[in-house]
Amino acid sequence: MRRWWAAQRAQEQRVERAAGRLNVAERFNVAERFNVAARHVLFRDEARLRRGARGVTTAPLRSKCATLGPMAAQDGDEPFDIFDRTGKPLGVRKARRLVHRDGDWHRSVHVWVVLERESDGRRSDAEPWVLFQQRSPDKDTWPGAFEVAVSGHYRAGEDLAEALREAEEEIGLPLAPGDVIRLGTRRIVDDHAPGIVDRELQDVLLATTRRALAAFRPDPDEVTALLALPLHAALRLVRGEVPSVTGLMRQAPDERGAVKIAPRDVRLDEFVAARDGYYERALDTIRRRAAGVAPALWTLG
């Protein structure tokens, strides 16, 4: 699996080198010379291209890449290690689609991200803000719903350092094991979607950052938007004390590369369902840590 990803990265680097020798309007042709990984590279660099090429439109780039068809928000053949309910490895590897079909236990990682600055970038001396992502509409589970800022699976053979790649892939936030604090562990079964039984052993982690909301770089194939909520408002929402709260939403850049941030009212039913009290447990742990308390690790499920 690592060899496959190394080959993918080598291919992306060839795309980058080839694209670097072209003007913006020509770069869309790269997508026909390489596989669809080219589109990921080109779209990832699109804002930079706009800044560096005055008067050159990137519309042909989007138009041409769109002809490749929609990219899947996940790889159904991605291999997972299989575990029993207690977390004991069973020595079996299966493709993602088969794991979700058969309801096998597998590992995943959730990273809660707290903004140490206000969402507009100013230093915050008040309460922290908590970051959430809006899932891509192409996800096989909970499409379009809000959830924890970073969520992803351990691929077969991966450790935590490798699994934390999800943070950079999904929202553009590089993280290493030393950058996160473990909050607890969650065991969850989600069978709301027809034909999918998702049994996850989730490592629940916390990361803090001084980045402003506009500085994040969500992957449009994975994440539709980012939402920041004041911590206490988020707690009131998940406890059912209020029907909705107001946060700030970061939308994808427009055609000029400008990032739009605007107020957004959000309801609890717009989030991935968590009937085990997960959101309240995690947010309350974050609140206590912000107050200088070090709560014990917890287990849900």
Length of the chain in terms of residues written:
301
pLDDT value for 256: 84
Q: Is the confidence at residue 14, as pLDDT, over 60?
A: no
pTM summary value: 0.74
Compute the distance between CA of residue 146 and CA of residue 130 in angstroms, rounded to an integer. Answer: 12
Helices vs. strands in the chain: H and E counts, helices first: 10, 12
pLDDT value for 141: 83
Q: Could you give the C-alpha distances from 112 to 81, 91, 205, 251, in angstroms and in order?
A: 24, 30, 6, 19
Higher pLDDT, 114 or 6: 114
Name all domains of the chain by residue range, CATH numbers in brackets: 2-66 (no CATH), 79-300 (3.90.79.10)
pLDDT tens per residue, range 153-166:
999 999 999 999 99
Q: Is the confidence at residue 2, as pLDDT, over 90?
A: no
pLDDT tens per residue, range 137-152:
988 789 999 999 999 9
pLDDT tens per residue, range 259-287:
899 999 999 999 999 999 999 999 999 99
CB-based contact 190:198 (threshold 8 Å): yes
Higher pLDDT, 25 or 146: 146
The gap between the terminal CA atoms of the chain, to the nearest Å, is 31
Percent of the chain with pLDDT over 70: 72
